[in-house]
Amino acid sequence: MPAMTPHQLKTQQQRHRQQIQNYQHQQLAQELQDTHDYTQHTHGETSPQHAQSLLNLGAWHTANGDYAAAEPLLKQAVHIQRQHSNPNALAQALNQLAINQLHTAQASEAQRNLEEALTLATEADLTAQIHDDLGNAHYTQENLAQALHHYEQAAARFERLYGMHHPKTAQAYTHAAAVYRQQDHAQEALSILQHTTQILETTAPAHHPSTALAHCELAAAHDALKHYPQAAEHYRQAAQHLARSVGTDHPLYAKYLCRHAYHHLQTHRPEQALTQLHQALLIFMNTYEDDHPIIHNTIQNIVLLMMMTGNDHPD
């Protein structure tokens, strides 16, 4: 790789980060590795420049659903940033590590890292993002009131920064609406999600997983209100977006399958639900350690469904 000025390197690393966040990262593997090697040799293994290379490489693995490969890279980036005096860079590294930890059933560790990141961050966009991810940490631990507090903080901050018609604002409101639905306010959730899904469709990068999530949440709100044909259409759109952005072997696709399976169960089609849960289980087993709760829960649901359908013999 040819020598770069500090400005050129920073610009390249920011471009890589943006492409990863946009899930437009499939062709980046070699470039990320080259940049990693360049910063290691040119700036040194403990430099903030190398920490940024590690952060991008880790985020790339997270986006690909390879959470085990991401974790040591992100932990190393955090370790390096602790040796430098850039609070926002450390907050960003802690935030990225926490996002990965939320996928690997380490929600309490993720929460601690995000709470530390929140005390460090001074950039408005980063602070809002940390609130949104803190909401995810609490949501994963079923602390719905705390989750909603952080989602609403994130939504308000993003709205002040970017207005309503922005993917980050829409994503935060989508997360908040998921809590409203779980608190038995399905009609209110539906109203919000109809707006946020439309905003994400028109403003987010093409086929971004956040758009698929909005369709899944909108489908779940329709299911809660027994609008089953509308729900089915939004599950179909979620599947299309995920197939185009991350592919059908990705854990995000498996999570969609589990949600669609629940819809099939509500509409008295347990065989279809069973097929989707089997498909999801294979993906989860290829992604996570054997003791990950999502594997245990999926197996439990498969056994229950097999008992319901009288199908006692797995394939």
Residue 315 clears pLDDT 60, i.e. is over it? no
Q: Is residue 24 part of a domain?
A: no
Considering only residues 24 and 70, tell me which one the structure prediction assigns the higher pLDDT. 70
Model pLDDT, residue 253: 99
Place of tokens 């940490």: 137
**Domain-embedded: residue 267:** yes
- Give the separation between CA 291 and CA 248, rounded to whole angstroms: 23
Per-residue pLDDT at 303? 96
Average pLDDT over residues 250-270: 97
**Residue 140 within a domain:** yes
Domain boundary among 139, 155, 185: 185
Average pLDDT of the residues of the chain: 96
How much is the pTM? 0.95
pLDDT at residue 311 tops 80: no
Residue 40 in any domain: the answer is: no
Last residue of a domain, one of 158, 185, 212: 185
**Residues 234, 278: Cα–Cα separation, whole Å:** 22
What is each CA distance from 211 to 171, 239, 263, in whole angstroms? 8, 11, 19
CB 252 within 8 A of CB 212: yes
Amino acid at 145: A
Q: Which structural domain, as residue segments, surrounds residue 287?
A: 249-309
Q: What pLDDT digit, counting tens, does each position of 163-195 carry?
A: 999 999 999 999 999 999 999 999 999 999 999
In a domain, 215, yes or no: no
How far is it, in rounded angstroms, from Cα 194 to Cα 173?
A: 11
251-266 and 228-245 are packed helices; what angle lies between their axes, rounded to 10 degrees? 170
| pLDDT the model gives residue 314 | 46
Domains: count for the chain: 2
pLDDT digits (tens, 9 = 90+) for 46-58: 999 999 999 999 9
Given 157, 185, 213, the domain boundary residue is 185
27: pLDDT strictly greater than 90: no
Residues 218, 3: Cα–Cα separation, whole Å? 49
Cα–Cα distance between 170 and 172 in angstroms, integer?
A: 6
Inter-helix orientation angle 67-81/87-103, to 10°: 160
Q: Which of 206, 217, 220 is nearest to 171 (CA)?
A: 217
Q: What's 304's domain CATH number?
A: 1.25.40
Instruction: Note whether residue 163 is domain-resident.
Output: yes
- pLDDT tens digits, residue range 193-210? 999 999 999 999 999 999
177 in a structural domain: yes
